[in-house]
Structure formats: structure tokens, C-alpha cells
């Protein structure tokens, strides 16, 4: 009975059946031959997009690195310049111990010399403390003639290594004398000795 039905299939059904077979064969060939190639072409397009994106990022990073290198060189130059005007620990110790001698050479009598070192530890820590720069202050109380006190200030400011004079106050010792009493507050900034940095 089934064979009778198949034998009686008309040409339209036969054509539809052949069309379906051709369509199935075409789909199978596409999946076996053209499908992988289409996927390969899509992957190549994606690879080109990714490579161009990587190239752009590499160029951006390269420019950023060059900018950072230039900034680093500028900072190194500024550090070298600052180190040339700031005192090292050894130089600061020598300067503070010679401060009384310098005042005497200028014709002033030293009544007192108080040196303080600002630790910078705690809440009020400054950026200089993080860089290893110490701040030391000296309060120098002197007696001398006006010209002698001005000579001392001039000599302190003429040093190649910077000495900051935070305040200078001058008053009469008494009305009958040409001597003046002066108080000078000096600040120096100290960078670590280079030998100390190498050892740490």
C-alpha cells in the first residue's frame, strides 16, 4: 500500500521532493565548505579591529611614557638645583656650629643661640618631610652696632647655600649707647647626605 502511494506521486510532489533534497544538500555543503570560511573571514575582520585598537593604545601609551619621561627629567633637574642650594646634614651642622663665630667676625656679641629641628612627624607633616628635607631654625640674640648687625645679615644672605632670615628685630640696649640688641630667626632646609642615601 505504501509502495502504491509512492508510485502514484505526481510530478509536483516529485519536484518538491527533489527541491528539498537539493536544498538540504546545498545547506550541508554550505556548512561543510563555506561556513568555516565565512567564520574565518569574520575572525580576520575582528582581528584587524583588535590589532588597530592595540596599535592606537600602544601609540597613546608611548606618548604618555614620553611625557612622563620629560616630566621626570624636569623634576630631576629641579631636584639637582634644589640640592645645590640646600645644605646637607654635615653642612648644616657645620653652619650652625660656626654661626657664633660668623657673628663675632662681623663685630657682634652673641648673647644666646637656640637651635631647633622640626621633626615633621604627626598630623602637620609637610611635603618636604616626605622628601627627606628637614627644617632647622636658629634664634640668634646679639648685641652690636647697626652696621655690624647689617653686615651679619648680609653675610648670611650671601652664602651659596640658602639661609632664610624669617625675622629680624632690632632695639636699643639703652638710650645712651650706640649698641643695639638684635634677634634674628634663621631657617635652613637640610637634605640628606648623598652617602647616607646610598647606604640605606
Q: What is the pLDDT of residues 127-167, one digit of tens each?
A: 444 567 889 999 999 999 999 999 999 999 888 778 889 99
Report d(CA 106, CA 116) in Å as an integer: 24
Q: Which residues, listed in sequence order, are joined to residue 137 by a DSSP beta bridge?
A: 116, 187
Residue-wise burial string across 85-110, b where 16 or more C-beta atoms lie within 10 A, e elsewhere: ebbbeeebeebbeebbebbeebebeb
In which band, very low, low, confident or very high, does the pLDDT at 123 lie, cut at 50, 70 and 90? Answer: very low
Q: List the grid coordinates of 32.
A: 561543510
Backbone angles phi and psi of 184, in degrees to 5: -120, 125
Q: Which of 170, 117, 112 is nearest to 144 (CA)?
A: 170
Q: For position 145, what pLDDT does the model report?
A: 92
Enumerate the H helices of the chain as residue ranges: 2-7, 11-29, 35-85, 89-105, 127-130, 146-157, 194-199
Domain ranges of the chain: 1-85, 87-199
Average pLDDT over residues 154-182: 87
Given a cut of 70, is residue 185 above it in pLDDT? yes
Q: For position 125, what pLDDT does the model report?
A: 45
Fold of 87-199: Alpha-Beta Plaits (3.30.70)
- pLDDT, tens digit, 9 for 90 and up, residues 11-63: 777 778 778 888 888 888 777 777 777 778 888 888 888 888 898 998 899 89
In which band, very low, low, confident or very high, does the pLDDT at 182 lie, cut at 50, 70 and 90? Answer: very high
Q: For position 83, what pLDDT does the model report?
A: 76
What percentage of the chain carries pLDDT values higher than 70? 86
Q: For position 131, what pLDDT does the model report?
A: 61
Given a cut of 70, is residue 196 above it in pLDDT? no
Q: For position 121, what pLDDT does the model report?
A: 45
Q: List the grid coordinates of 42.
A: 569574520
* More confident site: 11 or 86: 86
Average pLDDT over residues 51-79: 90
Left, alpha or beta for 139 (phi > 0: left; psi -120 to 50: alpha)?
Answer: beta
* More confident site: 85 or 182: 182
Residue-wise burial string across 145-167, b where 16 or more C-beta atoms lie within 10 A, e elsewhere: eeebbebbbeebeeeeeebeeee
Length of the chain (residues): 200
Q: For position 197, what pLDDT does the model report?
A: 46
Report d(CA 68, CA 114) in Å as an integer: 44
The model's pTM is: 0.57
Amino acid at each position: 500500500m505504501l509502495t502504491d502511494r509512492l508510485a502514484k506521486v505526481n510530478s509536483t510532489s516529485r519536484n518538491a521532493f527533489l527541491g528539498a533534497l537539493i536544498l538540504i544538500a546545498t545547506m550541508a555543503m554550505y556548512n561543510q565548505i563555506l561556513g568555516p570560511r565565512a567564520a574565518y573571514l569574520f575572525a580576520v575582520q575582528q582581528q584587524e579591529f583588535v590589532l588597530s585598537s592595540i596599535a592606537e593604545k600602544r601609540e597613546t601609551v608611548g606618548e604618555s611614557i614620553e611625557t612622563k619621561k620629560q616630566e621626570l627629567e624636569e623634576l630631576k633637574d629641579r631636584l639637582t638645583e634644589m640640592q645645590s642650594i640646600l645644605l646637607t646634614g654635615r653642612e648644616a651642622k657645620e653652619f650652625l656650629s660656626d654661626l657664633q663665630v660668623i657673628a663675632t667676625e662681623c663685630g657682634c656679641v652673641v648673647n644666646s643661640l637656640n637651635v631647633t629641628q622640626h621633626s615633621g612627624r604627626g598630623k602637620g607633616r609637610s611635603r618636604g618631610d616626605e622628601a627627606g628635607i628637614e627644617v632647622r631654625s636658629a634664634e640668634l640674640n646679639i648685641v652690636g652696632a647697626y652696621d655690624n648687625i647689617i653686615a651679619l645679615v648680609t653675610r648670611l644672605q650671601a652664602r651659596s647655600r640658602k639661609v632664610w632670615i624669617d625675622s629680624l628685630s632690632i632695639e636699643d640696649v639703652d638710650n645712651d649707647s650706640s649698641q643695639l640688641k638684635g634677634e634674628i630667626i634663621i631657617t635652613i632646609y637640610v637634605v640628606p647626605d648623598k652617602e647616607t642615601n646610598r647606604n640605606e
